[in-house]
């Protein structure tokens, strides 16, 4: 079979063998319900609470501040809706950014529909949130500020420490969507002033179906669903013990490898970008030159259609991504690139290559070898440059 190279780690990641080994017993012989009082249940609960401690260590939280959920999207929904619907003193405003993931964007849209006031902060041409705008628009009516940590499309890191300070100065709660950054770069919720943080297992080499919401001690939020007392009522439903154990193992490995991986993966990304500049004409790098996640590269190739480029590279054995969304049958340009000031047509000519555990120089070489050929062909068909 033809060799395939995976450059879509921001979409999802492979489960590491150590993670699979750690979780398997919780699907086979240790299948107890963590709420049961017998020994099967106690084994499951013990594993779950041990895992909570490990996850807490990653972000310098206390274990009782960690709530397991089903995914990053669910964590974002609980954080936003749970805070807004329990906001005190009649506060009804949520401030977020224009470059958030749809898990935030569409939750904010629903809250708007329900009568809350939503304000979107813009970004500069490097995808950095406009902190001055945040300072200017925040007021005493603001219940919550939610600004993502690492952008999923460009990898650009937001100044969340500053955003948290501004939120607190107006008495608002600060949430960050750290689904792309957790496990890749250091996070300290105490030092950074984060009140709530979302994470997702499948972005850091654990399986799909496990997420985390960190909620600072003392913060009161309304749950979205009702049932038993699991996760202290914030996320009722029998816990996914195998997923939780897997996540803790992945977090453990991430903590051991973070520094080295960041160096290795950034070097691969930098080589990809600097060599693309040599082998391809007319390229624009999105978010290059400012602090970014180690493995995300977002590049516009004016004159080609991003979707056509994506499919052509897939045929060549390279799995990448476009930030475009398909709505009502039309391919919409990425809202992130448009917010950065890219023309819609340029935004639609972009590809994201995202790297992580398992990415090698061989993959980068393969892209550098095939991309110029594919681009030349597509540009000649479209009459582009
Ligand atoms: C920044 C960001 N937030 C939230 C999510 C949603 O996470 P999940 O797939 O676990 O629901 C993603 C997934 O791509 C993401 O990149």
Tens digits of residue pLDDT in 106-116: 999 999 999 99
> Average of pLDDT values for 71-81?
98
* Residue 324 pLDDT: 67
* Residue 89 pLDDT: 80
> Average of pLDDT values for 335-346?
96
The minimum-distance atom of ligand 1 relative to the CA of 100 is 1
How remote is the C-alpha of 54 from its chain's centroid? 20
Ligand 1 pocket check for 374: Cβ under 6 Å? no
> Average of pLDDT values for 303-331?
87
Of the pLDDT bands very low, low, confident and very high (cuts 50, 70, 90), residue 1 is confident
CA–CA separation, 382 vs 385, rounded Å?
9
C-beta contacts of 262-270 below 8 A and 24+ residues apart: 262/184, 262/185, 262/294, 263/294, 265/294, 265/295, 265/355, 265/356, 265/359, 266/294, 266/295, 268/295, 268/355, 268/359, 268/360, 268/361, 268/364, 269/294, 269/295, 269/296, 269/297, 269/353, 269/355
CA–CA separation, 112 vs 75, rounded Å?
19
Average pLDDT, the chain: 96
> Average of pLDDT values for 47-61?
98
* Residue 209 pLDDT: 98
CA–CA separation, 58 vs 194, rounded Å?
14
From the candidates 27, 267, 326, 373, give the one annotated as an active-site residue: 326
Tens digits of residue pLDDT in 29-41: 999 999 999 999 9
The minimum-distance atom of ligand 1 relative to the CA of 148 is 1
Structural domain boundaries of the chain?
Answer: 5-12+258-382, 17-252
Share of the chain above pLDDT 70, in %: 97
* Residue 87 pLDDT: 82
The minimum-distance atom of ligand 1 relative to the CA of 70 is 10
- Tokens standing for residue 142: 């603001």
* Residue 122 pLDDT: 98
Of the pLDDT bands very low, low, confident and very high (cuts 50, 70, 90), residue 329 is low
Tens digits of residue pLDDT in 168-202: 999 999 999 999 999 999 999 999 999 999 999 99
Ligand 1 pocket check for 148: Cβ under 6 Å? yes
Domain 5-12+258-382: give its CATH code: 3.90.1150.10
The minimum-distance atom of ligand 1 relative to the CA of 202 is 10
Q: Ligand 1 centre from 42 Cα, in Å?
A: 32
* Residue 354 pLDDT: 97
Tens digits of residue pLDDT in 195-252: 999 999 999 999 999 999 999 999 999 999 999 999 999 999 999 999 999 999 999 9
Indicate if the pLDDT at residue 375 is higher than 90.
Answer: yes
> Average of pLDDT values for 128-155?
98
**Contact between residue 167 and residue 175 where contact means Cβ atoms under 8 Å apart:** no
Share of the chain above pLDDT 90, in %: 94
At the top level of CATH, the class of 17-252 is: alpha beta
What are the E-state strand segments in the chain?
5-6, 66-69, 93-97, 117-121, 142-146, 173-177, 196-200, 211-215, 284-286, 296-300, 318-319, 325-327, 330-332, 350-354
Q: Ligand 1 centre from 323 Cα, in Å?
A: 13
Of the pLDDT bands very low, low, confident and very high (cuts 50, 70, 90), residue 45 is very high
Ligand 1 pocket check for 156: Cβ under 6 Å? no
Prediction pTM value: 0.97
Ligand 1 pocket check for 197: Cβ under 6 Å? no
Of the pLDDT bands very low, low, confident and very high (cuts 50, 70, 90), residue 273 is very high
Is there a catalytic annotation at residue 326? yes
> Average of pLDDT values for 58-69?
98
Of the pLDDT bands very low, low, confident and very high (cuts 50, 70, 90), residue 327 is low
Ligand 1 pocket check for 200: Cβ under 6 Å? yes
Q: Ligand 1 centre from 175 Cα, in Å?
A: 15
DSSP class of residue 165 equals H
* Residue 328 pLDDT: 59
DSSP class of residue 359 equals -
CA–CA separation, 147 vs 383, rounded Å?
40
CA–CA separation, 236 vs 202, rounded Å?
21
C-beta contacts of 302-305 below 8 A and 24+ residues apart: 302/345, 302/346, 302/349, 302/384, 302/385, 303/349, 303/378, 303/379, 303/382, 303/384, 303/385, 304/349, 304/375, 304/378, 304/379, 304/382, 304/384, 305/348, 305/349, 305/378, 305/382
Ligand 1 pocket check for 243: Cβ under 6 Å? no
């Amino acid at each position: 079979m033809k060799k395939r190279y995976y450059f879509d780690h921001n979409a999802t990641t492979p489960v590491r063998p150590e993670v699979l080994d750690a979780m398997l017993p919780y699907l086979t012989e240790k299948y107890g319900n963590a709420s049961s009082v017998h020994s099967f249940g106690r084994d499951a609960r013990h594993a779950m609470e041990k895992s909570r401690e490990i996850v807490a260590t990653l972000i310098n939280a206390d274990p009782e501040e960690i709530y397991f959920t089903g995914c990053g999207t669910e964590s974002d929904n609980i954080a936003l809706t749970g805070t807004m619907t329990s906001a005190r003193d009649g506060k009804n405003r949520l401030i977020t950014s224009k470059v958030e993931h749809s898990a935030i964007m569409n939750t904010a849209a629903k809250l708007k529909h329900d009568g809350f006031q939503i304000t979107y902060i813009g970004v500069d041409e490097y995808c950095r949130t406009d902190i001055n705008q945040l300072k200017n628009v925040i007021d005493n009516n603001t219940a919550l500020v939610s600004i993502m940590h690492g952008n999923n499309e460009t990898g650009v890191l937001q100044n969340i420490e500053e955003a948290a300070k501004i939120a607190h100065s107006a008495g608002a709660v600060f949430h960050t969507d750290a689904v792309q950054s957790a496990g890749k770069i250091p996070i300290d919720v105490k030092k950074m002033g984060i009140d709530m943080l979302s994470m997702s297992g499948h972005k850091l080499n654990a399986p799909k179906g496990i997420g985390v919401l960190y909620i600072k001690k003392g913060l009161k939020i309304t749950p979205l669903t009702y049932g038993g007392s699991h996760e202290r009522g914030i996320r009722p439903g029998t816990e996914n013990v195998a997923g939780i154990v897997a996540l803790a193992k992945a977090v453990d490995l991430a903590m051991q490898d973070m520094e080295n991986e960041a160096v290795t993966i950034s070097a691969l990304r930098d080589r990809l970008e600097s060599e693309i500049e040599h082998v391809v004409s007319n390229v624009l790098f999105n978010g290059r030159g400012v602090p970014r996640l180690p493995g995300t590269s977002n590049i516009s190739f004016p004159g080609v259609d991003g979707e056509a480029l994506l499919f052509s590279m897939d045929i060549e054995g390279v799995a990448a991504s476009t930030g475009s969304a398909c709505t009502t049958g039309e391919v919409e340009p990425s809202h992130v690139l448009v917010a950065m000031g890219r023309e819609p047509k340029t935004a639609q000519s972009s590809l994201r290559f995202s790297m992580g555990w398992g990415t090698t120089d061989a993959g980068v070489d393969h892209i550098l070898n095939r991309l110029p050929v594919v681009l030349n062909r597509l540009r000649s068909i479209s009459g582009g440059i």
